[in-house]
Amino acid sequence: MKKLGFLFFLALFCTSSAAFAECAAVGQCEGVTIDRLYLQNNIIYIGTSGNEQLLKPFCDPGGGNYIKLLDTHPLRDQIYALLLTSHKDRSPISIKMNIPSTGCGVEYVVSDAN
């Protein structure tokens, strides 16, 4: 019986970890997937599977609910490559924003193996 309980707990833990993929008011979207990328006026806009409105009050994603990767970021090309790979593979990624910031500008991204 203990073994069955442990297996149930393990299965619940493994399947529920994806449910915690979300954006939070600490200025970070953790374990989200990239749903949309678009470029306008040298800014890369990032839409995730999380709710970017939850990033408030530390940063405001604006009406479009997008995180921004600015052209002034020193690692823009490397971050964009990582975002594109995550988008293509639908693999989870974590995005940390500069806080406080207007428009939720990316500070860094983290991609972990599944």
The CATH number that applies at residue 101 is: 2.40.50.340
- Structural domain count, the chain: 1
Assigned domain for 91 exists: yes
**Tell me: the pLDDT tens digits for 61-110?**
776 789 999 999 999 999 999 999 999 999 999 999 987 766 789 999 99
Beta partners for residue 108, in sequence order: 96
Q: For residues 99 and 58, is the Cβ–Cβ distance under 8 A?
A: yes
> Which spans in the chain are helix H?
2-16, 76-89
Instruction: Give the model's pLDDT for residue 114.
Output: 63
Q: For residues 80 and 44, is the Cβ–Cβ distance under 8 A?
A: yes
Phi/psi of residue 40, each to 5°?
Answer: -150, 130
Q: Which residues contact residue 30 at a Cβ distance below 8 angstroms, ignoring those fewer than 6 apart?
A: 20, 21, 22, 23, 24, 94
Assigned domain for 12 exists: no
Assigned domain for 2 exists: no
Pairing, β 106-110 against β 34-40: unpaired
Instruction: Give the model's pLDDT for residue 2.
Output: 53
Helix (H, G, I), strand (E, B) or coil at 84: helix
Angle at 13 between CA 11 and CA 14, to 5 degrees: 65
pTM (2 decimals)?
0.78
Assigned domain for 105 exists: yes
Assigned domain for 1 exists: no
Assigned domain for 66 exists: yes
Instruction: Say which range, 35-39, 51-55, 77-81, has the weakest mean pLDDT.
Output: 51-55
**Which residue range is the domain that position 43 belongs to?**
20-110
